[in-house]
Amino acid sequence: MKSFRTLACRFAAPAALAILAAAALTACGTLPAPGTRSVQIERTTYGIAHITAQDYEGIGYGVAYAHAQDNVCQTAEHLLTVRGERSQFLGPQNTGELGLGRATNAQIDLFIRAHMDDAALARAAATTSADAKASLRGYVAGYNRYLQDTGPNGLPEACRGKPWVRPMSVADLSRATEMSMIQGGVGALAGAVLAAAPPAPGSKTSAAPVDLPQAVAEIARHRFNANPQGAELGSNGWAFGRNATPDGHGVLLGNPHFPWTGTNRFWEMHLVIPGKLDVMGATGGSSPVVAIGFNKDVAWTHTVSTGQRFTLYELKLDPSDPTVYLVDGQRRKMLARTITLPAAAAVPGAAPASHTFYSTDWGPVISLPAAGLGWSATTAYAIRDANTLNVRSAESWMKMALAHNVGELRAAMANQGMPWINTIAADRDGNAMYADQSVVPDVSAEMLKTCAPSPRAAALLHAANLAVLDGSRAACAWQRDPGVAAPGIMSPARMPVVITPDWVQNSNDSYWLSNPNIAPMAGVSPLVGAVGGTQRLRTRSGIMEIEGRLAGNDGLPGNKMGQAELRSVIFRDKNLAGMLVMDDLVAACNANAAALSADAAQGCRVLAGWDRTSNSASKGAPLFREFWRKAKDVPKVWRVPFDAARPVATPAGLDMATPATRDAVFKALGDAVGIVRAAGYAIDVPLAQVQTRIVQGQTITIPGGEEFEGVLNKVQSLGQPTLSAGGYQINYGSSYIQAVTFDDRGPVAYGILTYGQSSDPASPRAYDQLAMFSQKQWLPLPFHAADVAAQRVGQPVTLAY
Whats the size of the chain, residue-wise?
801
User: Helices 2-15 and 130-150 meet at what angle, rounded to 10?
Assistant: 110
Whether a cis peptide bond, with omega within 30° of 0, leads into 651 is yes
The residue among 603, 592, 657 whose CA lies nearest residue 630 is 603
State how far the Cα of 357 lies from the Cα of 339, in Å rounded to an integer: 8
Dihedral angle of Cα 778, 779, 783, 786, to the nearest 10 degrees: 130
State how far the Cα of 516 lies from the Cα of 507, in Å rounded to an integer: 14
The residue among 590, 616, 729, 601 whose CA lies nearest residue 672 is 601
**∠ at Cα 504 (500, 510), nearest 5°?**
120
State how far the Cα of 103 lies from the Cα of 195, in Å rounded to an integer: 13
In contact, 272 and 51? CB cutoff 8 Å:
yes
Contacts of 109 (CB under 8 A, 6+ apart): 84, 85, 86, 87, 88, 92, 341, 345, 353
472 catalytic per annotation? no
The string of DSSP letters for 631-649 reads HTTSTT-EEE---TTSTTT
State how far the Cα of 597 lies from the Cα of 592, in Å rounded to an integer: 10
The residue among 649, 652, 727, 735 whose CA lies nearest residue 686 is 727
Phi-psi region of 300 (alpha: psi -120 to 50; beta: other; left: phi over 0): beta
Of the listed 87, 135, 180, 235, which one is catalytic? 235
Strand boundaries in 328-420, DSSP class E: 330-333, 335-340, 354-359, 365-366, 379-385
State how far the Cα of 197 lies from the Cα of 108, in Å rounded to an integer: 17
**∠ at Cα 60 (57, 65), nearest 5°?**
125
The count of C-alpha atoms lying within 13 angstroms of the C-alpha of 513, restricted to the half-sphere facing its C-beta, is 25
The residue among 404, 412, 411, 167 whose CA lies nearest residue 289 is 412
Coil vs helix vs strand at 490: coil
Dihedral angle of Cα 492, 498, 500, 502, to the nearest 10 degrees: -150
Coil vs helix vs strand at 318: strand
If you ran DSSP here, which 8-state letter would residue 611 be given? -
In contact, 742 and 241? CB cutoff 8 Å:
no
Distances, alpha carbon 90 to alpha carbons 141, 389, 408, 760, in Å: 26, 28, 46, 19
Q: What DSSP element (H or E) covers 97?
A: strand 95-98
The residue among 576, 597, 625, 638 whose CA lies nearest residue 589 is 597
Phi-psi region of 137 (alpha: psi -120 to 50; beta: other; left: phi over 0): alpha
Counting Cβ atoms within 10 Å, is residue 162 exposed (0-12), middle (13-18) or buried (19+)? Answer: middle
Could you give the residue numbers annotated as active site? 235
